Amino acid sequence: KALIAHQRTHGPAARPSTPVAPTTTQPTFPCPDCGKTFGQAASLRRHRQAHEIQTPPGPFACTECGQDFAQEAGLHQHYIRHARGEL
């Protein structure tokens, strides 16, 4: 936007003839409960429902905060978030 505004100060001949391509960075939607990220808000909403279902505790529990996981890989990702200071 700043470039276009600047180019307008130079008159019509200085403006580019083709529009600038928008950025292709896809927004991410992180889960506030576990940190997993999703490319679409609908996917995050569907995932959040899993946190609301009352399930028995998983066999893998965090020794720092007590959060439990059904799979060891989930606990591993959780420990990484602790190490980064995200939790």
**77 inside domain:** yes
**pLDDT (average), residues 19-24:** 62
d(CA 78, CA 49): 19
Domain annotation covers residue 10: no
The residue segments making up the domain with residue 47 are 26-55
Do the domain assignments include residue 4?
no
- Region 34-39: mean pLDDT is 88
The model's confidence at residue 23, banded by pLDDT at 50, 70 and 90, is low
Domain count, the chain: 2
Q: What's the confidence (pLDDT) of residue 68?
A: 87
Residue 64 domain-assigned (yes or no)? yes
- Domain assignment present for 9: no
Confidence (pTM): 0.39
Residues 65 and 47 in one domain: no
Q: Report the share of the chain in percent with pLDDT over 70.
A: 79
The overall average pLDDT reported for the chain is: 80
Say if residue 64 is in the same domain as residue 46.
Answer: no
